[in-house]
Structure 1
Amino acid sequence: MNKPAPATRNAYPHFLQITTRWMDNDVYGHVNNVVYYSYFDTVVNEYLIRAGVLDFERGATIGLVVETHCNYFAPLVFPERIEAGLRVVRLGTSSVRYEVGLFKEGEDQPAAQGHFVHVYVDRVTRRPVSLPADLRAALEPLTVAVQAD
């Protein structure tokens, strides 16, 4: 299996600064791999909340993660500021593929990059639903075309 080439900073239309925490480091002195997925969740959900399209307490539609992946290129550590880049590479009927690059502050190459896929479902029935128009409109500015590996 070949590791994909990292996407540079200019490939991401939205950024969120995240500060690492003491508890993020593991016994090996770097941020533990499970924490990277927390950073992914943070940048995506921060964007959706600020865009007004995620009401995690009462919204009729919710996004469930059905797939995740991450490639690691360089360690992140505490204390450090991370700039999480966000883009959308696929807007489907009921799903969205988000891609995230985690950059050390000011660097052009990511320390890690990955993706996760949300399938949007009815909160009560948990059955897939079409993406609401306001969600689609909020995600369109993040949508970029990428070449397949």
Structure 2
Amino acid sequence: MVILQVVGYKNSGKTTIAKELITYLASEGIRIASLKHHGHGGLPIGLEKTDSEQHKQAGAYVAGVLGEDVLQVSHSGDWQIQDILLIYQQLGVEFLLLEGFKKLTFPKLVLLKNEEELSLISSLQNVIGIITTAEINASAVPYPIFHFDETNSICTWVYHNYREGWL
């Protein structure tokens, strides 16, 4: 199972990019799933109008959310990310998109709203690309830089890297 993270500060566009990637990869016949880290406040009750429901509607085979030690399925407890990943793998997921979970070490696409947020990159491991709404000097970072509006290019790039085994 290939795992890719989409990370950034709150309201940076992570869910929007995640939905685009899910829609694109699902249309290519990939059994894609998502898992969102809910890092602020309690977990929402029900699924209507949640990011994970948007992921599901975009084509995710499985969509979950983890917050305050609760995985939104019908079980709560001391969830460890490795246990959750095993569940997704057991379900036959080929590609797992993690939204958030900045401290994990899987390949990451980092969303930045402005050049000042570049400092986030130094605290992360395994960055493979940047998605931004700002003008960032390409020589300032050793990663491909995509503009937030280039969703087709982002999706194509991720798909190519997946198919070539670089993810």
Question: Going by fraction, where is strand more abundant, 1 or 2?
Answer: 1
User: TM range, normalised to the smaller chain?
Assistant: under 0.3
Q: TM-score, normalised by structure 1?
A: 0.24
Question: Going by fraction, where is helix more abundant, 1 or 2?
Answer: 2
Q: TM-score, normalised by structure 2?
A: 0.23
